[in-house]
Chains A and B, each alone.
Chain A
Amino acid sequence: MTEQVPTVETASATDSALSLLEEKFKNAVRRDDREGYDGLIVDPAKLVEVAAAVRDELGYDYLASAQAVDYLGAGDHLEMVYNLYRTTGGPGLALRAQTPRDTATLPSLVSVWPGADFQEREAWDLMGIRFEGHPNLQRILMWEGFHGHPLRKDWKEAYYEQDQKPFDSRWPDGNVWRSEEHNAYGKNVVYPEGFTLDGYEPVAEDAFYDEANLGVDIRPSDLDTDRIVVSLGPQHPSTHGVFRMIVTLNGETIERLQPVMGYLHRNHDKIGERNTFLQNMPFTDRLDYFCSLSNNFGYAVAVEKLMALGKRWEPPTYRAEVIRVLMAELTRILNHLVAIGFMLNDMGAYFTPLMYAIVERELILDFFEAVTGSRMMCNYFRFGGVAMDLPAQMHSTANLLNERVREFDTMQYLRELINERLPRAIDQTDDLLTTNEILTNRSIGVGVLTREQAIAHSAAGPVLRASGVPYDVRRADPYSIYPDLEFDVAVRDHGDIYDRYLVRVDEMRESVRILKQVLRLLGETEGQPFFSGRGGIYSPRVPAGEAYGRVENPKGELGFFVVSDGGQNPWRYHVRAPSFINLTALETMCKGHKVADVVTILGSIDIVLGELDR
């Protein structure tokens, strides 16, 4: 008999973390050994200490996403999952803490990762987990008069019909009704116990008025000023939608700021749990509606991670990945063009830069529409590929309604777009803005977020990279064919508005660089399959387990957290929206600046309400 050498497996992130933590915390940390799960389960009593050790000793300094799951009927506990990463790159670590459904209390991790602030508030609001030690545990997406915690599995919405789609009432005896008829508006309003509408004042504002100490003259310098509380929004052209900031001003200087959101909240997560896996795809379009194709990408990556746990799974074909990257990078360019346009709007360059950007965006959208069928609600990705190949011709026919016809060769259109039109458009933006003194005066040194603050607050995307952190999911935790592509991660050091603008310009240039390589790959893969599975399967099998899929969206890291119980529908579906989490640092950026700067700072973060409020 020959002696067998034990095969040395390179330790996974979880293994190496476990060995260190076990030594220190003994039984407080254990491996999550459920099938399809990875990560560590931590005793809530030790959670803060373990988290601090994970951050300081293991180097997981970046809290990408934190979300709660309700395991009703499968352990009957609530579970908080923290997805952690190192800003130096590499795979992530999932920490979990469980708590019984009725008491539902966990220690807050805001002291370890300030980026947990909004995410814990969201978990309290929607799932009803109380976080002890959280500095401001208010509801965030709902208002105080909302009854219950809607993401709990036993909570039912006003138009509730059945736990999961497809509904039985649609076929074969589909006698149509309008939901309003069955559920007249007004009858479903239930207030929490002890809540009355008389004299209702939003809690968030109360705190501001109490603290502001109104009407007292203060003398910070030789100027007499008053403190006032101002509500910026919700209807205000600078808020990019329905969004509000309560600020305390000292004269014109910001002393405190708190974002108030949720006006567009529709509980995307709950809708996602009712839907089948595929049905969620068109809903992701509506998150960041500028970037529907890259939203699709994120969701496909997450669900494909789960599907890869199964036996009969074919990863997406090469051509599918090439098309995906083509779409994602075009989306990045159009998003950044428009984001810069909107930011300049906020600065007062009324609509000129934006309109120039819109022309270019429209040309990209024409391509999207010809390929996917829709300009903005593309619904184009499928698990294992994309819905359709690129058409040979972008072709339209006249009919009674529409008579203005166009016809382009698709590849020719793409070549011109990528090689000529877009580089010219980026140069034009550069000429128009980069050295403009009004822009530089308003943006250099304004809204600074330091490197440490950016990481601590879980900032992502251009906001993070403008603060000197070269963290780009495409490089740090690669997906799709990005490892094969040549590009640099755009990064700047000052963390102010101007650098965020410059990062966006740099990134567009890098995207063009990627697109040129993609053009070549498109030619090489011509005629190859664009989908790996069999067609016509509308309810693919997704094995039980949990996955966190992340992509680098133009606005930052977009993550989809999906839990499957092996059925047709996701058990839990959560979106880590970059617009939402980037706002955690808004107050830090705004403090000490003038009220006019707040508007510009908000513009430089580049938020979109469809994703922020979900």
Chain B
Amino acid sequence: MYGSGILRGLGVTLKHFVNTYLDDIRWGFRRHIPDEAFPIRQGLDTRGVFTVEYPDEKLAMWERFRFIPFLVIENHDHPERPGHDWCTSCGICAKVCPPQCIWIVRGNDPETGRPVPEPQAFYIDIDICMNCGLCAEFCPFDAIKMDHDYELASYDRTSAHIFDKQRLSKEFRYWQSIAPTRAEEEAEARGGWEHKDVLKQKAKEAKAKEN
């Protein structure tokens, strides 16, 4: 019968329409559903409304989510090296970065002139950063990580969008809080929660003691 196909299609639309209300009834006509219900609405069992009302509701990002990078520094209450950079200015991230938006000034010891591990300056032009995550993937010191903070809008891009070292640095515990599983995996690979160099130093001392 002509028109039966349309009716069949309308049946699908009707089902969606009804499901939207069933969803409302299920969660008590609340504008924003309760936290426990959220994984259901935003998961494979979703039936009716699917929208997340940003910015009233915000989806938490998956652990691996990557926005622009940040630099890991030691916690400010770290007993030995509070606020110390994890970055050793090895330059790998600047070399691997596809749009070349990382700029590093390697630190030099004013007396000896020899390079020191902490970078003197570190810039990322976040307008150019393509959020690829290669810097974080190839940093041998776990010193640069991808952030979850995506709200970067500002009124003036020319002055506000080149992040310097201070703006980029975040405490190690921040990384642990946004990506607990990965932080743990990385610590396991390093052989401890400390920075790679610190661990190496400790191992050396322990060995010296033994002998």
List chain A positions with a Cβ less than 8 A from chain B. Answer: 165-167, 169-176, 178, 275-276, 278-283, 352, 356, 359, 362-363, 366, 369-374, 377, 379, 387-388, 391, 393-399, 401-408, 413, 416-417, 420-421, 428, 431-440, 536, 538
Q: A436 touching B105 by the CB < 8 A rule?
A: no
Max count, chain A CB within 10 A of own CB: residue among B42, B57, B60, B137: B60
Report the bound CA distance from A562 to B96 in whole Å. 20
Known: A171-B104, A176-B162, A275-B98. A538 touches B138 (CB 8 A): yes
List chain B positions with a Cβ less than 8 A from chain A. Answer: 2-6, 8-9, 11-13, 16, 35, 38-39, 42-44, 46, 50, 52, 57-66, 89, 91-92, 94-98, 100, 102-106, 115, 121, 123, 125, 130-134, 137-138, 140, 146, 148-151, 158, 162, 177-181
Q: B39 touching A174 by the CB < 8 A rule?
A: no
Residue of A nearest to B107 (CB): A172
Known: A370-B62, A373-B146. A173 touches B44 (CB 8 A): no
> Chain A residues near B97 (CB, 8 Å)?
166, 170, 279
Known: A403-B58, A438-B6. A388 touches B64 (CB 8 A): yes
Chain A min CB distance to B166 (Å) = 14
Chain B min CB distance to A399 (Å) = 6
Chain B min CB distance to A289 (Å) = 12
- Which residue from A279, A391, A438 sits with its C-beta under 8 Å from B64? A391
Q: A363 touching B103 by the CB < 8 A rule?
A: no
Q: Which 10 A-B pairs have the closest CB atoms?
A: A174-B103, A435-B5, A172-B106, A282-B132, A279-B98, A171-B91, A402-B60, A396-B60, A166-B95, A370-B62
Report the bound CA distance from A376 to B131 in whole Å. 11
Report the bound CA distance from A373 to B134 in whole Å. 11
Report the bound CA distance from A172 to B96 in whole Å. 14
Can you name 20 A-B residue pairings with CB atoms under 8 Å?
A167-B100, A171-B89, A171-B95, A176-B123, A356-B16, A363-B44, A369-B64, A371-B64, A377-B130, A379-B132, A379-B133, A397-B179, A398-B60, A399-B178, A401-B149, A402-B58, A402-B59, A404-B60, A428-B12, A436-B9
Q: A174-B121, A373-B133, A396-B62 are in contact. List 11 more A-B contacts (CB 8 A).
A: A170-B94, A170-B95, A178-B162, A278-B96, A279-B96, A370-B64, A379-B132, A391-B63, A405-B39, A438-B6, A536-B140
Known: A374-B66, A431-B12, A437-B5. A404 touches B100 (CB 8 A): no
Report the bound CA distance from A437 to B10 in whole Å. 12
Known: A371-B64, A402-B61, A440-B5. A174 touches B11 (CB 8 A): no
> Chain B residues near A388 (CB, 8 Å)?
64
Residue of B nearest to A162 (CB): B100
Residue of A nearest to B146 (CB): A373
Max count, chain B CB within 10 A of own CB: residue among A278, A404, A433: A404
Chain B min CB distance to A285 (Å) = 8
Q: A172 touching B6 by the CB < 8 A rule?
A: no
Q: B50 touching A359 by the CB < 8 A rule?
A: yes
> Chain B residues near A280 (CB, 8 Å)?
98
Report the bound CA distance from A280 to B130 in whole Å. 12
Q: A395 touching B9 by the CB < 8 A rule?
A: no
Chain B min CB distance to A136 (Å) = 36
> Chain B residues near A393 (CB, 8 Å)?
181
Q: A282 touching B134 by the CB < 8 A rule?
A: yes
Report the bound CA distance from A526 to B3 in whole Å. 50
Known: A170-B95, A372-B64, A431-B11. A279 touches B134 (CB 8 A): yes
> Chain B residues near A283 (CB, 8 Å)?
98
Q: A433 touching B9 by the CB < 8 A rule?
A: yes
- Which residue from A173, A377, A438, A439 sits with its C-beta under 8 Å from B132? A377
Known: A178-B162, A408-B43. A172 touches B181 (CB 8 A): no
Known: A174-B94, A174-B105. A399 touches B60 (CB 8 A): yes
Residue of B nearest to A422 (CB): B44
Report the bound CA distance from A439 to B162 in whole Å. 51
Chain B min CB distance to A241 (Å) = 20
Q: A401 touching B151 by the CB < 8 A rule?
A: yes
Report the bound CA distance from A439 to B5 in whole Å. 9
> Chain A residues near B58 (CB, 8 Å)?
401-404
> Chain A residues near B148 (CB, 8 Å)?
399, 401-402
> Chain A residues near B65 (CB, 8 Å)?
369, 373-374, 396
Report the bound CA distance from A55 to B158 in whole Å. 56
Q: B59 touching A404 by the CB < 8 A rule?
A: yes
Q: B50 touching A171 by the CB < 8 A rule?
A: no
Chain A min CB distance to B136 (Å) = 9
Residue of A nearest to B137 (CB): A387
Max count, chain B CB within 10 A of own CB: residue among A171, A282, A391, A416: A171
Chain B min CB distance to A567 (Å) = 15
Q: A165 touching B100 by the CB < 8 A rule?
A: yes
> Chain A residues near B4 (CB, 8 Å)?
435
> Chain A residues near B102 (CB, 8 Å)?
170-171, 174
> Chain A residues near B44 (CB, 8 Å)?
363, 413, 416-417, 420-421
> Chain A residues near B35 (CB, 8 Å)?
403-405
> Chain A residues near B91 (CB, 8 Å)?
170-172
Chain A min CB distance to B55 (Å) = 10
Known: A387-B137, A406-B38, A538-B138. A173 touches B105 (CB 8 A): yes
- Which residue from A395, A406, A439, A538 sits with its C-beta under 8 Å from B92? A538
Max count, chain B CB within 10 A of own CB: residue among A362, A363, A437: A437
Q: A399 touching B177 by the CB < 8 A rule?
A: yes
Report the bound CA distance from A434 to B91 in whole Å. 56
Known: A374-B65, A379-B133, A402-B58. A282 touches B125 (CB 8 A): no
Report the bound CA distance from A165 to B128 in whole Å. 15
Report the bound CA distance from A178 to B106 in whole Å. 20
Known: A176-B162, A396-B62. A377 touches B131 (CB 8 A): yes
Report the bound CA distance from A418 to B132 in whole Å. 28
Chain B min CB distance to A180 (Å) = 8
Q: A170 touching B98 by the CB < 8 A rule?
A: no
Residue of A nearest to B66 (CB): A373
Chain B min CB distance to A394 (Å) = 6
Report the bound CA distance from A437 to B43 in whole Å. 33
- Which residue from A178, A391, A437 sits with its C-beta under 8 Å from B125? A178
- Which residue from A282, A352, A407, A432 sits with its C-beta under 8 Å from B39? A407
Report the bound CA distance from A372 to B63 in whole Å. 10
Q: A436 touching B60 by the CB < 8 A rule?
A: no
Report the bound CA distance from A217 to B116 in whole Å. 83
Report the bound CA distance from A173 to B104 in whole Å. 6
Report the bound CA distance from A280 to B132 in whole Å. 11
Q: A172 touching B89 by the CB < 8 A rule?
A: yes
> Chain B residues near A397 (CB, 8 Å)?
60, 63, 177-180
> Chain B residues near A413 (CB, 8 Å)?
44
